[in-house]
Amino acid sequence: MEKAIGVLTSDFKLFHDLVKVLTSKGLPFVSLSFDDVIPPNTGVIITTAEEVEKIDFDKKVVCVNIQLAIAESIRILKGKERFDELIIGIDPGAKPGVAVVGDGTILETRQAASPEEVADMVEEIASSYPANRIGLKIGHGDPTNRNRIINSLSSQEYEIEIVDEKGTTPRSDTPDQEAATGIAFMKGHPARKKYEIAPTPGEIKDIQNRSRKLSGGKITISKNLARMVAEGEITLEDAIQMMIEDMT
């Protein structure tokens, strides 16, 4: 019987947020009540610090941070105090997909809000899943965002490999995470610490098109602003606002 993560709390907002994240990750979970018997397929229970002593169950996780609580719960379900090898696969893009694989088992997938956010996510994952060795693998496609991700990781002492993404074509409604999972299982070649970020004319044009769509057809940012967005200096929203201010 597959063990599931139990969610048991009277905090409605926390309950809703936990269920939302667990569902998005495709993790098995059961919604529990203080009035009912804990079902036998429950492997660990996430609750609050105020409620943890009320629960008669040996494996409990107090939720202070949702991502960390879920990560700890996954580790408990897998029966791992420490992994021998943890591989973090990264599918580069404006919103990179991230996959976590521990000792050959897919633990979870995530999506970063930006290329630079991957560095913080990697640190959080590394602290959530203790391992003897941690390696990062990133797809070779989308060089601009790929290089932004690698550069943001340059201060961290992890081995990074660049992987040929062929064969990781997504087939689900979470394509970035699926591609990241495929990347995590592939062999690559060592990456350098720093790379030049050089957006192509096509990338600049694409960002300009996105600015037009985001502003409801009212604003098309300049090539210079689009380049700054591509290089991670400003957000697209900032660029649109700057364009509006220049026009007034």
Cα dist from 39 to 6, 19, 31, 32, 115, whole Å:
9, 17, 10, 9, 41
Q: Of 33, 28, 36, 39, which Cα lies nearest the Cα of 5?
A: 28
pLDDT of amino acid 170: 61
pLDDT-derived band at 168 (thresholds 50, 70, 90) equals: low
> 3.30.420.40, 3.30.2310.20, 3.90.1580.10, 3.40.50.150: which CATH number matches 83-190?
3.30.420.40
pLDDT of amino acid 171: 63
Q: Is the pLDDT of residue 22 over 60?
A: yes
All residues at 6 or more sequence positions from 190 whose CB lies less than 8 Å from its CB, including other chains: 159, 160, 161, 162
Please work out, in degrees rounded to the nearest 5, the angle formed at the alpha carbon of residue 46 by the alpha carbons of 121 and 90. Answer: 20
Report, as an integer, the average pLDDT of 52-80: 94
pLDDT-derived band at 58 (thresholds 50, 70, 90) equals: very high
pTM as predicted:
0.83
CATH number of the domain at 4-77, please? 3.40.50
